[in-house]
Amino acid sequence: MDSIASHAAFKIDCRLSQPSYRAGQKTVMQCAIPEAGFLNIISYGEGDQNAVQLLPNEIERTSPVAPGSARIPDGRFNIDNFLPAGQSHQQQVMLVIFSKQQQDLKSLGVPEGIFTGLTDRAMRSQRVTPSGAGGYGAAELVFEITQ
């Protein structure tokens, strides 16, 4: 994930709604979108075996965004925080990628198979659940999940 962030052509401004989250709380962020484009969100927790692509996902298969301020998630899904069994806290890293065209993560040099589909078994610290072009930009967000 660090390699993807370091190869971004520019940084995008994304901020979490709070500096840390408790297990069971929902992650929410605000991002300043420079122009119409698409987002990918990748997440990895120190207690997880694999990084997981949170957006696009099974609920929101494409990720178009308009210029301006964007709330993520936008209400069609939630990003719920969980802790691996036996853990009282863990550090979480989320990478938000903005591009003018929808990105296939393989085109960014991500090795095939590094990201898993989003299922309950794929990642223990965050899950998505339903709720009622010239380069890419990236924002790396680091926070802690506690009990």
pLDDT at 132: 46
What does pTM read for this prediction?
A: 0.80
Question: Which pLDDT does position 109 carry in this prediction?
Answer: 54
- Tell me if 39 sits within 8 A of 63, measured CB to CB: yes
Report the domain count for the chain.
Answer: 1
What integer pLDDT is reported at residue 85 of this predicted model? 84
pLDDT tens for the chain, 147 residues: list them. 777 787 788 899 999 999 999 999 999 999 999 999 999 898 988 877 778 888 887 788 788 899 999 999 988 889 999 888 888 999 999 999 998 887 766 555 554 443 444 344 444 556 555 444 457 889 999 999 999
CA atoms within 13 A on the CB side of 146: 6
CATH number of the domain at 106, please.
2.60.40
Q: List the domain range (segments joined by +) for residue 107.
A: 2-146
CA-to-CA separations, 91 to 44, 52, 65, 100, in angstroms, rounded? 9, 15, 28, 30
Residue 115: Cβ within 10 Å count: 20
DSSP alpha helices (H): ranges in the chain?
A: 2-6
Torsion of CA 94, 96, 102, 107, to 10 degrees: -70
